[in-house]
Structure 1
Amino acid sequence: MTGERASLRAPWSPEQVENLNEFQRAGGMHPFTCGGEHESHRDLVATEGGWVCPDACGYTQDWAHWFMAEPEKWPRLRFPRREAPAGEGRSE
């Protein structure tokens, strides 16, 4: 898809944050992960200001695929559901 619906740029509403974090856990696609150096990958956490690394390494991302904020548009689940890290989904 092209045009304005190709990506969703932060800032995001509280409802979008909730949906984006649920999408990360749902397992329908590989999650967005931190680009910083860690011993293992870190799933990003959505906040109203954009994605952040839960390890507070400073990595951020300001976009998501548009459908990630619309649960009725999510692809079928193909991977096991992931558990949320402690404190996930809190707005900054």
Structure 2
Amino acid sequence: MALDGKPVKPETYEGDSIMVEGVQDNQVTAEEGRFTGTGCGLWAQLPSLAPGAHSLKVHGQSGDFSVDVDYVLTVAAAASA
């Protein structure tokens, strides 16, 4: 993972049991009602960003799962009081 070309080190969460409530037509849960799942993965907290355009690149692979996304983040200047 890289923010504006600089590496961002994610934290690894091995897995916690979580309760999920699925709703109709939600393609993420694929079913309605409550069920137990596992919350795990790599998580990163980004620093506050200055106004302007920023690049966030996330690339990785584990087994047969891979992710490869590039985001362009635009931060607006704070309104003056």
TM-score using structure 1 length: 0.21
Structure ranking higher on relative contact order (CA contacts 8 Å, 6+ apart): 1
More strand by share: 2
Give the structure-2-normalised TM-score.
Answer: 0.23
Flag the structure with higher helix content: 1
> Rg larger in 1 or in 2?
2
